[in-house]
Amino acid sequence: MPMQLYKREEILEACLSVFARHGYKKTSTVMLAEAAGISRSLIFYHFKSKKELYLSIVDWCFEKFGAEFGSDILLTYWDFFEAKEKFSVLRLDYMKRNPDLYKVAFEAFLATPDEVKADIEKKYGEVRTVRDKQWRELFDRVPLRKGVDREMAFELIKNTLDHFEKKALSELNIENDVDEAYWQSFLDKRNCFLNMIRYGIEQ
């Protein structure tokens, strides 16, 4: 591999952890240069700005994430809630194996920094729309009680799952090891919440 490309990959790997730990807004170019072990001028030889570096890392994360969660994977499911359960297990396992990559991807797509919103939307808006459409098509198969608004029900489920995803990410920030028993309990609790939404809480 040419020296220039090799150094570019090294910069991406080193800076990934900085963005994961501090987020886009609180990350400075000085912090990035220190993490990469090179000068700021050399970073900007490869990337013209912090924004360009961040977007390159997001591309890198998306490529790696997409290798395990391809766009056609949802087409293998018929039941919406079964798909959500399977995906949670897969995503949690991926999160544990690649915490920094997952944290950056989570911020980029679910808590997008203002400075990069237009860029993220331009590049990934269509991909996100297709995935959201697939989830909605699965949800359209779920029979709802009379009077339940389908859009509101879908939003309630999304907000609940987003809550648990943020909670899982916060647990990964704890320095002490979190054992498998904890993660199983975490999944059980998440499934309990989904079941309450699915079956109702009133007798």
The pLDDT of residue 18 is: 94
Q: Residue 2 above 60 pLDDT?
A: no
Q: What is the pLDDT of residue 6?
A: 45
The arithmetic mean of pLDDT across residues 180-193, rounded, is 88
Residue 79 above 70 pLDDT?
A: yes
| Residue 36 or 70, more confident | 36
What pLDDT digit, counting tens, does each position of 88-131 carry? 888 888 888 888 998 998 899 888 999 999 999 999 989 888 88
What confidence tens digit (pLDDT) does each residue in 127-186 have? 888 888 889 999 999 999 999 999 999 999 999 998 998 888 777 765 455 678 888 888
Who wins on pLDDT, 187 or 72? 187
Of 88, 82, 21, nearest to 57 by C-alpha is 21
pLDDT for residue 20: 92
Compute, in degrees rounded to 10, the torsion defined by CA atoms 153, 154, 157, 163.
-120
Cα separations in angstroms, 135 against 22, 142, 184, 190 = 31, 11, 24, 18
| Residue 203 confidence (pLDDT) above 80 | no
pLDDT at 65: 79
Residue 177 is predicted with a pLDDT of 59
Q: What is the mean pLDDT of the chain?
A: 85
Show the 3-state SS of the chain. CCHHHHHHHHHHHHHHHHHHHHHHHHCCHHHHHHHHCCCHHHHHHHCCCHHHHHHHHHHHHHHHHHHHCCCCHHHHCCCHHHHHHHHHHHHHHHHHHCHHHHHHHHHHHHCCCHHHHHHHHHHHHHHHHHHHHHHHHHHCCCCCCCCCCHHHHHHHHHHHHHHHHHHHHHHHCCCCCCCHHHHHHHHHHHHHHHHHHHHCCCC
Task: Determine what percent of the chain is predicted with pLDDT higher than 90.
Answer: 38
Q: Is the dihedral of CA 62, 166, 136, 87 positive or negative?
A: positive
Q: Please check whether residue 198 is in contact with residue 139, taking contact to mean a CB–CB distance below 8 angstroms.
A: no
- In this predicted structure, the answer to whether residue 75 has a pLDDT above a threshold of 60 is yes
pLDDT of residue 167: 85
Q: What average pLDDT does this structure show over 6-34?
A: 88
